[in-house]
Amino acid sequence: MIQCLFLLSDAGDVILEKQWMGKRVERSICSWFWRQRSEKEDQDPPSVIASPTHYLLHIVREGVTFLACTASEMPPLLGIEFLCKVASVLENYLGGLNEDILKDNFVIVYEILDEMMDSGFPSTTEPSVLKEIIAPPNLVSRVLSVVTGTSSSLNAASPLATSSQVSWRASNVKHSNNEIYFDLVEEMDAVFNRDGFVVKCEAYGEIQATSRLSGMPELSLTFANTDILHDVNFHPCVRYRAWEADQMLSFIPPDGAFKLMSYRVKGLKNPPLFVRPQLSSGEGICRVNVLVGLRGDPGKPVDAIIVQLPWPPSVVSTNLSASVGTVTYSFSTKVSTWIIGRIPKDKSPCLSGTLQLEPGINRLEEFPTFLVGFKIQGTAVSGLKVDKMDIRNVEYRPYKGFRAVTRAASYEIRT
Amino acid sequence: MFSSTASSISKMSALVSGVGTDAAIYDDPQDADIPTLLDSRYDADKAQGLKRLIALMAQGQDVSTFFPQVVKGVASQSLEVKKLVYIYLVHYADKRPDEALLSINSFQRDLSDINPLVRAWALRAMSGIKVRAVGPLVIMAANKCARDPSPYVRRCAANAVSKIHSMGDEQHFDELVQLVSILLNDNYPGVAGAAAQAFISVCPERYSLLSSSFRKLCGLLYEADEWGQISLMDILMRYIVAKYGVVRDFSSVNVEFSCLQQAHEENGGDFYKADTRSSFPDERWEVRLMLSSTLSLLRSQNSAVVLQAAVIHWYFSPGNELSNIVKPLLFLLRSSLDARHVVLANILSFSKCEPSLFEAYFEDFFICSSDSQAIQALKLDILTNIVSDLSATQILQELEAYIRNPNSQLAADAVNSIGRCALRLSSTVAICTKGLLKLVVSRSSRDDDSLHNANDAEPKVGDSGREQYSPGRGRVVVQAVSSLRAIMQKHPAEQDQVILHLLRNLNHILEPTAREVVIWMIGEQAIARPALAEGIPVALRYLAKTFANESNGTKLQVLNCLAKIISSSQRCSSLKTVLLILQYILDLAACDLNYDVRDRAWILRVLLAGHLDAIKHHSSYDADPRLPEIIDAILLNIDQSKLDPGVLSKAANSMFLRQKSVPVLPSLSLQPSTFLPGSMSHMVQHKSPGYRPLPRERYTDLSPSSPTLPERQPELQSQSESTDSGSESFESEDDGNYTDDDLAVISDADGNTAKEKADLISLSDTELLKRDASPEDLSPSVDLESWLGPEEPSNSPEDFDKSSNSEVKKVLALDFTNGDGLEVHYGFMRGPSIFSSSMVCVRLFLHNKSSEPMHGIEINDGETAGRQTAFESGTARIIPPEAVALEPGEKTELNAHVDFRHNLSIVKVCLHCNSNKFPIKISPEPGVLLRPRKMSISVFLAAEARIAGMHRSSRRIYLHGISPGQCCKRIVAAARVSFIGSRDAEDVVLLFGAETLTGSLLCLISVALEPDAVHGTLTICCEDTLFGLALLNHLDKALTSLESIDS
């Protein structure tokens, strides 16, 4: 079971350590871990590694490394999922995650970590229950503590939520404004081969819900086209039987923000952007010509277009210019970044110029993969449509909100 | 009035500037007097003090000295103070268990608090204090909390059970099992999940506890929290395995998949026969129930839950339902990015057994640029596992795309995968070969020029060619050539074209390893079809030209290649050319700088004498009259009369012309293993401490009345595939040909030793099963004594003298250069001194190395001249030996008796010889100042429990994999202790007893060997702490030194 957790800053310093078991783990393990990391330069080591004394599990969030140690057999994924949970709970509590925020609130962090794990096994990890035991820091409590000199992050009232039949929701939730929001956040993964054909194109989506509803509401959410969904997984509150039978999400929501569902739609035919690179090299120089344009009409404007061009090591310097947007080149990483933004109506974006190769190399023999980023507000590229949302078991009529956004996650162009 | 406003303004400004209250504490915890704060009457001050302590803790400082003051805080009514005290206590409880005891009373009071949080925290704190004395109190508390109305408290009780069990107190085992069974029957899903975890840590084999509540636990599964789901699934799965066995396993990894599938279908059909034919639930309803209740968990957001559910379905699903696990597993690769590495490693194992499962989803294993190197390797391995005729084109296209990637590691790995695809699917051989050849050619040629013919190419190796060689490109070429070689060996039909191609481009292939492989292939080609080998003389001529500039490995391969050609192609038309080249190269090699090359040349000269002799004397070879001349020149320095040509040619044939096995292209990531999927051991590829394989036997009787379980068979977890990399196996084939049979013997012997090792491990395993035996049963294990063998240390002093005196470790006391030719060593005798039981017998070994006789050799304190009957030196009292005389070259031994008085400081004495004085220092070892003490194990354990706290020192040591027997021998050799026996807890624990010579203080030594036999924990309990520490260092050295005293 997990013996301890270290939070490391991006420089490898220990921000804080939390030991859960009697057998303490020395801090020196962190420097061992950091050496492994720095040996492989920019490559992150595998999430599970065996050090001479312990098995180490780690994840990285916002530059903070969460490093857990164990000396005995345990499911490694349990450890990794726990770390993810810790990271998301802390982020949720503190409104962000970095070294300063953690130091700012280290007492609360300790209290949370102490609740989340008992004798090396995860204990209370549900954010809504945790919030009943440990109050999140907010401005009011902070003002109070500064002015009166007293502070207590612990709720004096006994938490009864844990005794309600629904473990993720307290029985006595009350809000003056009843509202629920659903955000469809989709990420597009696509790979184009060097001939411009689509190797694969799929969308991964999450329905992120924020619920501020009183009482014990029974919600049901139906979609117009569930048949396009290739994979799904659900928050524990979703009744799996109802999904199996009617393809309907039926659930009692936890209070606050939660991830209701994630899904994947495979085999999409309409990637919104095309990128046509041309690289021709000879006599120590490589001529580059990259065209970017819209493919079909996604319905909403495509924003924040950015193309990253990581050059192979044999490239010494670049001389590139763009018809739309700006190009910057980083000497240390050998990456050119072309920021386009939105494609203007009258001009088509084009990047052209030359690359200087290392002396002795005539032609480019390793071909880079370009990464594209974009964002489409107001549309889900997979085409998933929400049909209706019903609420039962409560008196009021809540405000319901839906939004959708699509981002490029791993949109790759091979050259 | 005004000042107070000012202070609040300054406070407000601190707030506005964004500095939280805690940040200030973190940055400078010691700006206030912490002890005063802790002792304050006000909870706010106490909380302040505690926060400062925790800040120091977070920064890695040891603040355990505040323990007594902090413990007092437990009595506070403030929740916050309680919580902070608890955080502190858990952190330091193991360091100061005695002081933690002070807090017990407050905890017991808190157990009756109305707030469930306070009750739960009190129990958590109590169970965190790992002192055996409070064991009964904690169990009482846990019992109380297990019946608490609040599920939060009940869950804490379940967690407390594992903590109490980890204290290692066997007395309360039955009570703990009782508690586990109560908690398992809890109606609240969260409690049952925690109880499942307690079950795993306390009594993982008590399946009888589950048989009654199985249906209920399956029902609770979906509602339990995600962590509880994982533990619950684990215990349910093991229960079913113990009862029914599994449908599918990893043991048949190497079986062709179609027949495997068939076997599964048969097996599965049989397994569920009753299900399909009858409507009422039969005895296997439990399997059905478990499968159906875990089906929904495959849709969990928690990747650990999905994987655990997938493992259950893997083991128990009938063939047609197994595909249920595929999509959820693949979705994890996208939905839980942090879990990708672990999930892929498990998919690799699944796909190895059932490639058809993932065949259609090959796209999910395409590499994207954000994948780390480990993930890339796993994906490529999976792709080569699942490639089928339908997907081959797309997968190969994709692999081809990776070769163009700037990441040279990925490119090389992709080439390796192409080779493995061709080995797996014979339909792809042609296209793979073509692609690889193209790759070798294009990557090798430096210019765009048309391909040179090997014949007229200038030898460019070694000079200008090497400078331009880039490691990335070289890697790809080496990998491509190795892949080609593997394909060729499996499909010899394609050989001609490939060899010709490679021959033509040999002058462009600069990477030495790749050249070696190509030359090796030329040699093999010569054996396989000597008639076709037209190009060989041309290639040989080229190699002769470049020979001097080749790398050593390539030179060896050129020599081997020549030897193969000579041994096989006696009817070759261009024999004369070959012989001339042989002569030339052998002469060059004989003068090589590298001795391996020189040696190889000489060996070949002799070995080939047989064949050359045959060529010379064969009538049909008289075509060229110069042949015998050349052969004589080759065999110039060899006395042919002593050689038997028949024997030599036979030897040469057996070395060079034998059938070579098809090499295994190494997998890029994990080796296939039989570890449970989803386990840590599966990821790290070794048995991690606490790993439990699935129960093997079917425990048919699971009624509560028969808790004893049959012992498991030792499980052998040998790797089935060789891990040789291509080039390595390639070398060993040729270089070690004549030892091939010997190698087989060696590997056989290795196998045996592996088996023995496995047996040793499993012995402790089976002992584990008997854990519920009563404490009286902890007699010395029979197995352990058999390890010790006949040399088991006995405890009577005579025996020690007899057996050990010959091995007394000698320490140089006086060198003959300093001692006018007298050399003195000393050593400590095992037996007690004849003068007093508190004395140690020090034997002096004298050797007169001078040419003069020596007389009047004696020892005294150096102050007075002449013989003393006894004298003091420092704290020690010494009874010196009689004076002796030594002739030149004579040796003698004298016994001095020293009472070190339990002091480890060096004793200085003076040695007189021929009226010269030489100072001698004797430094006592801690192991010598003991006398063995025999006692029973129960006495030992009782005494060990008594000597606690500071008097106990322990250290984790690295054992280099020595056996318990060896470990025992080393300890007995290093210290005068008595072996008491062994105890099998989670680890094998060896116990030794002794007491100090002076004062007769007990000194108890225990060595806990971890199951992996690599690490152990050495613990010494001695009322003299300093001495205990010195002894710990001494034994640590003795155990961890690499020179083994027992060999």
Do residues A199 and A114 share a domain?
no
A247 min Cα distance to partner chain B (Å): 14
Give the pLDDT confidence score for residue A86 in this predicted structure: 93
**pLDDT confidence band for B1046 (50 / 70 / 90):** very low
Query: What is the chain A residue with the closest CA to B376?
Result: A46
CB within 8 Å: A152 and B307 = no
Give the pLDDT confidence score for residue B128 in this predicted structure: 78
Name the residue type at position B147: R
Instruction: Residue window 346-365, chain A: list those with CB within 8 Å of chain B.
Output: 360, 362-363, 365
What is the distance between the alpha carbons of residues B415 and B433, in angstroms, rounded to a whole number?
A: 11
Instruction: Residue window 115-134, chain A: list those with CB within 8 Å of chain B.
Output: 118-119, 121-126, 133
In this predicted structure, the answer to whether residue B445 has a pLDDT above a threshold of 70 is no
In this predicted structure, the answer to whether residue B949 has a pLDDT above a threshold of 80 is no
Nearest alpha carbon to residue A5 among A60, A67, A84: A67
B905 min Cα distance to partner chain A (Å): 33
In this predicted structure, the answer to whether residue A139 has a pLDDT above a threshold of 80 is no
In this predicted structure, the answer to whether residue B768 has a pLDDT above a threshold of 60 is no
Give the pLDDT confidence score for residue B309 in this predicted structure: 93
Give the pLDDT confidence score for residue B16 in this predicted structure: 39
Give the pLDDT confidence score for residue B789 in this predicted structure: 35
- Paired tokens of B139: 């169990």
For the beta carbon of residue B458, count every other beta carbon within 10 angstroms. 11
What distance, in Å, lies between the first and last C-alpha atoms of chain B?
A: 86
Q: Does A106 touch chain B (CB under 8 A)?
A: yes
Is pTM beyond 0.90? Reply is no
| Cβ contacts of B431 within 8 Å, gap of 6 or more | B396
Q: Does A76 touch chain B (CB under 8 A)?
A: yes
**pLDDT confidence band for B865 (50 / 70 / 90):** low
Nearest alpha carbon to residue B488 among B500, B476, B477: B500
What is the distance between the alpha carbons of residues B1011 and B362, in angstroms, rounded to a whole number?
A: 40
Overall average pLDDT of the B1003-1021 stretch: 82
Tell me the residue range of the domain where A355 lies: 273-377
CB within 8 Å: A123 and B159 = yes
Per-residue pLDDT tens digits for B454-498: 333 333 333 333 334 455 667 888 888 888 888 888 877 767 777
Q: Is residue A149 included in any domain, yes or no? A: no
Instruction: Residue window 29-48, chain B: list those with CB within 8 Å of chain A.
Output: 44, 47
Per-residue pLDDT tens digits for B530-558: 555 567 777 788 888 888 888 888 888 88
**pLDDT confidence band for A261 (50 / 70 / 90):** very high
Least confident of A209-218, B330-339, B851-860: B851-860
> What's chain B's Rg over C-alpha atoms?
38
Do residues A103 and A192 share a domain?
no
CB within 8 Å: B116 and A234 = no
Q: Does B124 touch chain A (CB under 8 A)?
A: yes
Overall average pLDDT of the B62-81 stretch: 81
Phi then psi for residue B562, to 5 deg, are -60, -45
CB within 8 Å: B681 and A153 = no
In this predicted structure, the answer to whether residue B773 has a pLDDT above a threshold of 50 is no
Least CB–CB distance from A23: residue in B11, B94, B301: B94
Do residues A324 and A401 share a domain?
no
Q: Is residue A19 included in any domain, yes or no? A: yes
Q: Does B308 touch chain A (CB under 8 A)?
A: yes
B720 min Cα distance to partner chain A (Å): 23
Do residues A103 and A189 share a domain?
no
Do residues A368 and A396 share a domain?
no
Question: Do residues B205 and B169 touch, judged by C-beta distance below 8 A?
Answer: no
Count A/B contacts: CB-CB distance under 8 Å: 288
Do residues A211 and A304 share a domain?
no
In this predicted structure, the answer to whether residue B697 has a pLDDT above a threshold of 60 is no
**pLDDT confidence band for A146 (50 / 70 / 90):** low
Helix axes of B429-444 and B471-490: crossing angle, nearest 10 degrees: 150
Do residues A259 and A282 share a domain?
no
CB within 8 Å: B468 and A82 = no
Do residues A296 and A356 share a domain?
yes
Do residues A102 and A246 share a domain?
no
What is the distance between the alpha carbons of residues B8 and B4, in angstroms, rounded to a whole number?
A: 6
Q: Is residue A122 included in any domain, yes or no? A: yes
Give the pLDDT confidence score for residue A365 in this predicted structure: 78
B1024 min Cα distance to partner chain A (Å): 25
CB within 8 Å: A72 and B690 = yes
What percentage of chain A carries pLDDT values higher than 70?
92
- Paired tokens of B290: 């478990």
User: What one-character-per-residue DSSP string does B623-634 give?
Assistant: TSTTHHHHHHHH
A377 alpha carbon, distance to own chain's centre: 18
Give the pLDDT confidence score for residue B21 in this predicted structure: 59
Q: Which residues pair with B140 in a beta bridge?
A: none
Q: Is residue A162 included in any domain, yes or no? A: no
Give the pLDDT confidence score for residue A69 in this predicted structure: 92
Bridge pairing between strands B854-860 and A335-341: unpaired
> What's chain A's Rg over C-alpha atoms?
25
Question: Which DSSP category does B248 fall into?
Answer: -
Least CB–CB distance from A151: residue in B21, B155, B683: B21
For the beta carbon of residue B725, count every other beta carbon within 10 angstroms. 14
Give the pLDDT confidence score for residue B4 in this predicted structure: 46
Q: Does B750 touch chain A (CB under 8 A)?
A: no
For the beta carbon of residue B590, count every other beta carbon within 10 angstroms. 15
Which of B162, B225, B396, B1017 to probe the A interface (max A CBs under 10 A)? Answer: B225
- Paired tokens of B791: 């040399």
Least confident of A10-14, A265-269, B449-453: B449-453
**pLDDT confidence band for A373 (50 / 70 / 90):** very high
Give the pLDDT confidence score for residue B373 in this predicted structure: 86
Nearest alpha carbon to residue B761 among B783, B743, B776: B783
Q: Which residues pair with A278 in a beta bridge?
A: A289
Per-residue pLDDT tens digits for B740-767: 333 333 333 333 333 333 333 333 333 3
Per-residue pLDDT tens digits for B594-630: 888 888 888 888 888 777 777 777 655 555 667 777 7
Give the pLDDT confidence score for residue B524 in this predicted structure: 79
CB within 8 Å: B368 and A230 = no
What is the distance between the alpha carbons of residues B781 and B766, in angstroms, rounded to a whole number?
A: 12
In this predicted structure, the answer to whether residue B172 has a pLDDT above a threshold of 90 is no
| Cβ contacts of A293 within 8 Å, gap of 6 or more | A273, A274, A343, A348, A349
Overall average pLDDT of the B955-960 stretch: 79
Overall average pLDDT of the B235-248 stretch: 83
Give the pLDDT confidence score for residue A153 in this predicted structure: 57
Do residues A244 and A354 share a domain?
no
Which residue in the block uniquely carries the two structure tokens 């391996």?
Answer: B596
Cα–Cα distances in angstroms (integers) from residue B823 to residues A306, B278, B888, in the given order: 83, 93, 12
Question: Which is more confidently placed, B194 or B799?
Answer: B194
Question: Which DSSP category does B391 fall into?
Answer: T
In this predicted structure, the answer to whether residue B864 has a pLDDT above a threshold of 70 is no
Do residues A38 and A68 share a domain?
yes
Strand (E) or helix (H) holding B961: none
Give the pLDDT confidence score for residue A76 in this predicted structure: 92
| Cβ contacts of B87 within 8 Å, gap of 6 or more | A110, A111, A114, B54
CATH code of the domain in which A27 resides: 3.30.450.60
CB within 8 Å: B116 and A159 = yes
Percent helix, strand, coil in chain B, to 5, is 60, 10, 30
Chain A residues lying within 8 Å of B190, measured CB to CB: 162, 167
Name the residue type at position A284: G
Give the pLDDT confidence score for residue A180 in this predicted structure: 92
Question: Which is more confidently placed, B914 or A63?
Answer: A63
Give the pLDDT confidence score for residue B459 in this predicted structure: 38
Question: Do residues A179 and A212 touch, judged by C-beta distance below 8 A?
Answer: yes
Give the CA count within 13 Å in the CB-facing half-sphere of A166.
20
What is the distance between the alpha carbons of residues A313 and A366, in angstroms, rounded to a whole number?
A: 9
Per-residue pLDDT tens digits for B119-171: 888 888 888 777 777 778 888 888 888 888 888 888 889 988 888 888 777 77
Nearest alpha carbon to residue B362 among B393, B332, B324: B393
B814 min Cα distance to partner chain A (Å): 42
For the beta carbon of residue B192, count every other beta carbon within 10 angstroms. 28
Q: Does A82 touch chain B (CB under 8 A)?
A: yes
B171 min Cα distance to partner chain A (Å): 21
- Tell me the average pLDDT of chain A: 85
CB within 8 Å: B338 and A19 = no
Overall average pLDDT of the B726-750 stretch: 36
In this predicted structure, the answer to whether residue A249 has a pLDDT above a threshold of 70 is yes
Name the residue type at position A380: A
Q: Is residue A221 included in any domain, yes or no? A: yes
What is the distance between the alpha carbons of residues B18 and B12, in angstroms, rounded to a whole number?
A: 10
Q: Does A254 touch chain B (CB under 8 A)?
A: no
Q: Is residue A143 included in any domain, yes or no? A: no
ipTM computed for the complex:
0.93
Strands (E), A54-173: 55-61, 64-70, 117-118, 121-122
Per-residue pLDDT tens digits for B337-363: 889 999 999 999 888 888 888 988 988
Least confident of A321-335, B384-398, B840-854: B840-854
What percentage of chain A carries pLDDT values higher than 90?
25
Which of A36, A41, A42, A77 to probe the B interface (max B CBs under 10 A)? Answer: A77
Least CB–CB distance from A55: residue in B54, B339, B688: B688
CATH code of the domain in which A209 resides: 2.60.40.1170
Query: What is the chain A residue with the closest CA to B18?
Result: A104
- Tell me the average pLDDT of chain B: 74
Give the pLDDT confidence score for residue A141 in this predicted structure: 59
Do residues A71 and A91 share a domain?
yes
Number of folded domains in chain A?
A: 3
Least CB–CB distance from B299: residue in A233, A360, A363: A233
What percentage of chain B carries pLDDT values higher than 90?
4
Question: Do residues B275 and B298 touch, judged by C-beta distance below 8 A?
Answer: no
What is the distance between the alpha carbons of residues A217 and B735, in angstroms, rounded to a whole number?
A: 77
Question: Which is more confidently placed, B371 or B709?
Answer: B371
- Paired tokens of B563: 């030897």
The highest-confidence range among B368-382, B652-666, B872-886, by mean pLDDT, is: B368-382
Query: What is the chain B residue with the closest CA to A311?
Result: B406
Strand (E) or helix (H) holding B956: strand B952-958
Q: Does A13 touch chain B (CB under 8 A)?
A: no
- Paired tokens of A344: 């203007």
Question: Do residues A395 and A178 touch, judged by C-beta distance below 8 A?
Answer: no
Least CB–CB distance from A105: residue in B22, B331, B369: B22
Q: Is residue A22 included in any domain, yes or no? A: yes
Overall average pLDDT of the A79-88 stretch: 93
Overall average pLDDT of the A210-233 stretch: 89
Q: Is residue A326 included in any domain, yes or no? A: yes
**pLDDT confidence band for B929 (50 / 70 / 90):** confident
Phi then psi for residue A67, to 5 deg, are -120, 120
Least CB–CB distance from B341: residue in A47, A189, A368: A47
Per-residue pLDDT tens digits for A175-220: 888 999 999 999 999 999 888 888 889 999 999 999 999 888 999 9
